[in-house]
Each structure stands twice: as structure tokens, then as C-alpha cells.
Amino acid sequence: MRPAVFLDRDDTLIVNRAITAHSAYPGSLFDPALVQLCPGAALACRSMHQAGFALVVVTNQGCVARGECSVQQVEATNARVRAVVRAEAGVDLDGLYYCPYHPRGTVPPFHVEHPWRKPNPGMLLWAADDLRLDLAGSWMIGDAERDIVAALRAGIDRPRTIIVGDAPAAEVGHRVDSIAAAAEIVLQSAGGRSR
Ligand SMILES: [Mg+2]
């Protein structure tokens, strides 16, 4: 079993708000052509992968439940995320899981709460089983409190949770201003353990 770094997708790994702010659905990015990595994300992915961490994206996509886009659009966008990481970081994401459900959605069967929807821990627990991950040694990097809470509920200790940006979060291990800075924390901890 190996540890993972769980990554939120939107505004952690790829740019969302700055691109979709003036679209019909701010915060929902479902056009593969618009995918671009956050600054420093490629190097962060490469270095964490080289340090022995599985890279696992876990992303809420309630846009499906809200009728803003289709499952196919989300999956095409996710495929583009994988391709861009491969091209720019030179590594493959080990997993990418998304949750199309939202309890205030309108599109059946997605208009319900679901154990996969962060802050629930379902995606992380599923990934851990699917990919044989060591959850206790894993990390979470996200930009919202729900990312951190999902990790805590999955059994990841608070010192291995990192929030990127200034979103309010009651319980988080570290707060940084970029995924690059988050990766440095992960790598320092990993190096400290092995040397
Ligand atoms: Mg996000």
C-alpha cells in the first residue's frame, strides 16, 4: 500500500474561477478546451509522484445535478486534465474521481445527497480501496473547507491537510498560497520521515 496525495481539481490543480467567472455558470468548468493547470501544478505533481505518492484527484461536479452540463462533458474535461498533467508534468494521475450528485440539483438521478460528495469522505474511501492506498499516510490539498473535512472524515490526520488560498476553514493543518507551496510541505515531511 502506498500513500496518496488527494488533490481537489478546481482552483487547486486547474484554474476554474478566473476562467468561468463571466460565463453562464461561474465556478463550473466543463469545456475541455479551457483546461489549464494552476501555476506550479505541473512541477508539484511531478515531484510528489517522484517522492512515491499516488496522485488522486477527487472533485465535486454538482454542475451535472444542476443541469449545467452532462456527464459526458465532465468526463471529457477530466480526460483533458489527465492529458495536460501527462504532457506538462510527465506523470500520470493515478486516479480521478468525480461526484455528479447534489441535493439541490434538478436532474434525476443526480439530484440527491451522495456519500461521494465532499465533505463526505466517499470518494477518498473508494479510491483507497480501488488503488490500495495507505490513507493514514496520505495527504489532502484543496481550496475549500469541504476538501479538508472529507479528508479528516476519511481518516487523514489534520497535520496532513493543506488548504490553498484564503477560504475559511476551521480545521486545517496548513494554509499556503499555491499548490507549489503545498507540495513543498508534503515533500519536506516525506523527506524527514525517510532520512
Ligand atoms: Mg476547488
3-state secondary structure of 108: coil
Active-site residue set: 8, 10
**CA 136 / ligand 1 centre spacing (Å):** 23
**CA 10 / ligand 1 centre spacing (Å):** 4
Domain ranges of the chain: 6-138+149-155+164-176+186-194
- Fold entry, domain 6-138+149-155+164-176+186-194: Rossmann fold (3.40.50)
* Inter-residue contact 122 to 145 (CB < 8 Å): no
Tens place of pLDDT for every residue, the chain, 195 residues? 999 999 999 999 999 999 999 999 999 999 999 999 999 999 999 999 999 999 999 999 999 999 999 999 999 999 999 999 999 999 999 999 999 999 999 999 999 999 999 999 999 999 999 999 999 999 999 999 999 999 999 999 999 999 999 999 989 999 999 999 999 999 999 885 544
* Inter-residue contact 80 to 93 (CB < 8 Å): no
Beta bridge mates, 133: 2
**CA 95 / ligand 1 centre spacing (Å):** 17
State the pTM of this model: 0.96
Spatial separation of the C-alpha atoms in residues 165 and 139, rounded to whole Å: 17
